[in-house]
Each structure stands twice: as C-alpha cells, then as structure tokens.
Homo-oligomer: A and B are copies of this chain.
C-alpha cells in the first residue's frame, strides 16, 4: 500500500477525496493527530532553544520528546487504519458458497472488524496521552507560540473524536458483547478526558491574549 507520509500533501488529499474505500476518516484523524504532535514539538523546541525560558526547560524537554514520538506513532496508525479497513473489505469478498466457506468468511470478518476497532482506539489513546501534556506546555512554553499550543489541542481532540467515531462504527458489526462493552467504556473515558483537556488548554491560551 502507498505510504501516506511519502505522498505530497496534495496527493494525500486526493487519496482522501477519491472514491476508494481507504484512506478515510480514521486515517485523516491520525494525520490531524500528527499535526498536533508536530505543533507541540515546535512550541517545546522554541522554548528549549531560549535561555530566557531556562526555568521551564526541565518541564518542557519531555514534551518535545513525546511530541516527536507521537508524530511517528500517528503516521504509523494512519497507515494501519487504512490497512485494517482494507482487510475488512477483503474478508467480506471471500467466497460464501459452502458452509465451510461461510464459517471461514465469518471468522475472518469478525477478526478484521475487531482490528478495525482496535487501531483507531490506539490512535485515540495516543492523542489523549499527548493532550495530557499540553496544559503544562501552555503554562510553561514560549508565550509567543501559545496559540500554537491551542491549535495542537484542537487537532488532538479532533483526532480523538474522529478515531472514536471509527471505533464506534466498527463495534456495530461485532458480536462479542464483552469486547464491545469494554471498548464503549474506554470510549467514554477518552472522550471525557479529551474534552476536559482541550477546554483546560484553551482557557490557558485565551488568558494570555
């Protein structure tokens, strides 16, 4: 499959806009997360490069690293999200003439659906994890870039909510009630955290205008 990160932004947007089943919203959500992570890394970087903010360096250094790692993780997840959905489509196309084929197809669809829910859940988790560092970045980061911390929180929250929509739509075709309940519980927890962190960051940002 095409490596999305190696497409031009133009080409990536063309792929999103095309009629092909992938890439779709799950991949776009992960790409938004990658932009949020890149902005967090930038703000941390222009704090660490200035002696003026030396008092914040110890707090900000791990955020620079977390941003860089999360960016790579989001690009991997953007790719995996499309691969997981391609597998669902491929499983649905398996032959279903004999009872044996029907059973094998059903098993493959179930497995593929499960993975298509798990991948965006990992995206949402990664975004909430990075969001949790942004209130500190809004308070201690270079104040000239505080609006970029706000933009990062908006992109990471959109990433969380977009990924969780993909979790939800895939859960609707999964029979394992225990798995569904567990994923729904985590969905609610991550949504609550994401909304709370986004609001907290935006309030800190607007205070500095």
Contact = CB atoms under 8 A, between A and B. Distances in A.
Interface stretch (A55-63, A104-112, A144-152): A144-152
Contacts of A5: 8-10, 13
A80 interface: no
Contact of A7 (B9, B17, B162): B9
**Dominant SS among interface residues on chain A:** helix
A35 B31 contact: yes
Interface stretch (A95-103, A129-137, A165-173): A165-173
Interface in A36-59: 36-39, 41-42, 45-46, 49
A189 B5 CA distance: 36
B209 A32 contact: no
B13 A42 contact: no
B71 A13 contact: yes
Contact of A17 (B18, B71, B155, B169): B71
Given A39-B24, A206-B168, A34 B8 contact: no
Contacts of A45: 17-19
A16 B28 contact: no
B155 A162 contact: yes
Contacts of A10: 5-6, 75
B46 A34 contact: no
A188 to B, nearest CB: 13
Contacts of A205: 165
A7 B65 CA distance: 24
11 contacts: A4-B9, A5-B9, A7-B9, A8-B9, A13-B35, A14-B38, A16-B35, A24-B147, A28-B39, A155-B158, A157-B158
